[in-house]
Each structure stands twice: as C-alpha cells, then as structure tokens.
C-alpha cells in the first residue's frame, strides 16, 4: 500500500458537499488518489453517476444523451478538474470539437445576432466555434474554407459570400463534413439551408406600404445586386404590387448593406421627390437613410421599413418598422441541425425556414396597434 501521507492529496468539493480527488490511481482501500496521474474519464463517470460510455458520448458529442445527463457530466468535469485532451482526440477521430463558422462580415448587427444563437447552442453541446470572415469575397472565402478543413473542424456553418457557386459546393462535397448554409443559399443547389422566407418578407413589407398607407411609389434600397436575399425580397415586393391591381412604381437602388450606403442613397433621395414608401435591405441601411432624412428635415415625409429587426431597431429615432427574421433562432436552428448529425442522431443536416413577421413601429407612420 502506498504511503498516502507522504504527500498531500488534492481534493475538490462537489455540488453535493462531498470531496472528490482530482487525480487517479486510487488506493483501493481508502479511495484516495495518488499524485501519479490526472483524473480519468472513469472518475468523471462515477462522479456523475453514469457509465463511462455515456460520459464519453457527452465529451465527444456522439450518441444520444439527454440534456440533463450532458449537463451533469459537464458539472462533474468542472468539479473534478478534468481536462479533455482535444489535440490527441482530434488525431484519433480526424476531427476537432470545433465547428467552422464562415461569415461575410463580423460588423453586421444581424450576423452578430445569428452568431449569438449559433455559439450558445454549440457551447451547450460541448463544441466551440472557429469563426472566419470572408469580407463577402469568394476568393477570401475559398482560403477560409481550406483553413477550416486543415483544422479538422467537425462541421461547417457558412453564410456564403455573394457570388458563390459550384466551386464552393464541390469543395464542401469533397470534404464531406456536415454543412449548413445559413441565412443565404446558393441558387441552383439544393444544399441544407437554415434561413428566413425572404420572398414572404418582401411581400409583407410591400403589402403594408400598399394596403395600410396607399403608397403608389416604392423604392427598394440597399443590398448587393446579385445577392439571393435581395432577389427573393424583390420578388415578394413584386408579388404584392401585382396583387394590388394598382399603378405602383418600383425603383431599385443596389448598394452595400451598410449605414454609409444608406446615408449616401438617402442624401440622393432627399435632393428630389421622395418615394411614398421605402423598403431597406436591412435595418443598418434603414438607419443610414433615416439619418439623411433627419439631416434634411424630411423625417415623416415617406414610409420607411427596415429588415431583420435587430435589437437596435426599436431604439432608433424614429423606431424602425422592420421585417423580423429572428436571427438568434436561425443560429440556434443551424447549430441543432449540425449537432444532430455529429452526434449520430440524424444522417443528414436538416433544413429549416423561419417565417418572418412584420413589426410595425414609428418609421412608417402612426398606427393604432401593431399588425
């Protein structure tokens, strides 16, 4: 029997008030651990009251394990000071416990809300996100995806750069990692997609301008000309115009999806006769446009609708009417779809299309109650 009193034994106080050692090589009589090795997965399993296999499923993100069990195992890991050797495990299974996340720009409010939902759900499942920004450039995107592949990420969530096509699809297929396209899809390819119904969103905004405010001239402002979201939203706008049986003029001003772009277009619009209604590609563009209206003293002379309903929209002056796409929920749904495949619960990544809602506020005029 080893002399356990020749050196101190490191203990950790668990949630139930009992002490547990954080080193292995336990003495069979006393149940204490010597200082010859670190805590093992078996120690974690015993502490959590589960089998070693279940603890392994939780740590590796495989198998079917309830949320309560997963949380109990994580709590035991923390209480015992267990550190999982990610590097060695990645070499064994050829993947890491990370999910690659590809975004066009990290400074977009909407993308930030999507990432919050994505990352929080991944963290709950025991995964981390490795995020890269493409600056909405397909060449930067190609390098970023190659880098994530070299890092052996377990799955990929990608908001594709404008202009992405068959090259990106071919690379992803040759890789074979579970992949979901998030908030944007690539036209002509039936890949797993999590996003909002963009046609419906454009329809809701235009219908409100036409039916509630009798707008007979509408401008669509912002967004890349070849962006699939912009194309789909404009399709919805045209559907609403067609259903109205009224003579309605539609103008179209593509641009970057930034405050600066909205401000620039707004300054151009205030120099002449304003359209009766304006639909902006996102809330950020709408904020820039509203600033131009404010500077020209023309706030309230036209109806303005933003898109995405980011958290700042309700605090803007005037508060923005916006098409809510629930970015945080989209991020959560994407993470859930990926984890279902990583864990073995499902064979393929499932798509999810979230229905948008119109949130009516001050920027399109007074209303007795929201629609």
Q: pLDDT of the chain along its 371 residues, tens only? A: 333 333 333 333 333 333 333 333 333 322 333 333 578 888 999 999 999 888 888 877 666 788 889 889 989 988 888 866 554 454 444 457 899 999 998 888 999 999 999 999 999 888 999 999 999 999 999 999 999 998 889 999 999 999 999 999 999 999 999 999 999 999 999 999 999 999 999 999 999 999 999 999 999 999 999 999 999 999 999 999 999 989 999 999 999 999 999 999 999 999 999 999 999 999 999 999 999 999 999 999 999 999 999 999 999 999 999 999 999 999 999 999 999 999 899 999 999 999 999 999 999 986 534 34
| pLDDT at site 37 | 53
Query: Cα dihedral angle (263, 265, 268, 273), rounded to 10 degrees?
Result: -110
Q: What angle do CA 68, 70, 75 make, to 5 degrees?
A: 95
- Among candidate residues 99, 227, 90, 228, the one with its CA nearest the CA of residue 157: 99
| pLDDT at site 55 | 87
| pLDDT at site 84 | 64
Buried b (16+ CB within 10 A) or exposed e, 346-366: eeebbbbebebbbbbbbbbbe
């Amino acid at each position: 029997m080893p002399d356990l009193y020749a050196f101190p034994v490191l203990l950790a106080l668990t949630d139930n008030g009992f002490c547990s050692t954080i080193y292995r090589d336990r003495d069979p009589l006393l149940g204490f651990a010597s200082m010859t090795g670190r805590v093992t997965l078996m120690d974690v399993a015993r502490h959590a009251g589960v089998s070693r296999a279940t603890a392994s499923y939780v740590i590796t993100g495989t198998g079917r394990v309830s949320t309560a069990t997963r949380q109990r195992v994580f709590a035991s890991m923390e209480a015992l000071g267990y550190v999982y050797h990610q590097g060695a495990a990645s070499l064994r299974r050829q993947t890491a416990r990370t999910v690659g996340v590809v975004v066009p720009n990290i400074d977009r409010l909407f993308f930030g809300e999507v990432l919050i939902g994505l990352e929080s759900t991944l963290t709950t499942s025991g995964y981390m996100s490795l995020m890269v920004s493409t600056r909405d450039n397909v060449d930067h995107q190609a390098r970023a995806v190659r880098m994530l592949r070299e890092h052996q990420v377990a799955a990929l969530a990608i908001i594709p750069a404008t202009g992405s096509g068959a090259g990106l699809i071919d690379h992803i297929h040759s890789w074979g990692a579970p992949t979901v396209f998030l908030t944007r899809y690539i036209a002509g390819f039936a890949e797993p997609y999590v996003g909002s119904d963009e046609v419906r969103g454009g329809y809701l905004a235009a219908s409100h301008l036409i039916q509630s405010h009798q707008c007979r001239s509408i401008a669509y402002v912002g967004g890349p000309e070849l962006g699939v979201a912009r194309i789909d939203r404009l399709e919805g706008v045209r559907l609403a115009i067609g259903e109205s049986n009224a003579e309605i003029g539609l103008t179209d001003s593509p641009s970057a999806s930034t405050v600066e772009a909205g401000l620039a277009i707004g300054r151009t619009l205030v120099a002449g006769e304003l359209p009766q209604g304006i639909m902006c590609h996102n809330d950020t563009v709408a904020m820039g446009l509203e600033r131009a209206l404010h500077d020209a003293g023309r706030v309230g002379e036209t109806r303005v609708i933003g898109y995405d309903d980011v958290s700042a929209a309700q605090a803007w002056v005037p508060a923005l009417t916006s098409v809510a796409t629930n970015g945080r929920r989209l991020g959560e749904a994407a993470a859930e779809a990926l984890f279902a495949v990583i864990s073995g619960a499902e064979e393929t990544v499932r798509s999810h299309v979230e229905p948008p809602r119109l949130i009516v506020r001050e920027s399109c005029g007074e209303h007795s109650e929201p629609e």
